[in-house]
């Protein structure tokens, strides 16, 4: 369990429980293009979208 009131716990949570676009592609074995299609259809939802990357919850990706 994480105590997200502490900075170190937040860092640990982000490192252990989130993946970026490249990591999601590697885990799923998809192309970047196919991952984009899945996201656009709402089948996999990123928690944060940035201009050149997305952040996903690792469990969401593993359970896809």
Which domains are seen in the chain, by residue range? 7-62 (1.10.1660.10)
User: What tokens were used for 19?
Assistant: 């993946």
Distance CA 32, CA 9 (A): 31
State pTM to two decimals. 0.86
* Percent with pLDDT over 70 in the chain: 95
pLDDT at 2 over 70: no
> Is pLDDT above 80 for 4?
no
Strand order in the sheet with 18-20: 18-20, 53-57, 48-50
pLDDT at 31: 98
Report residue 3's pLDDT band, with 50, 70 and 90 as the boundaries: confident
């Amino acid at each position: 369990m994480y105590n997200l009131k502490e900075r170190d716990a937040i860092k640990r949570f982000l490192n252990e429980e989130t993946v970026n676009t490249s990591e999601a592609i590697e885990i799923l074995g998809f192309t970047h293009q196919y991952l984009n299609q899945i996201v656009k259809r709402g089948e996999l939802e990123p928690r944060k979208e940035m201009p050149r990357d997305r952040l996903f919850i690792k469990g969401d990706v593993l359970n896809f």
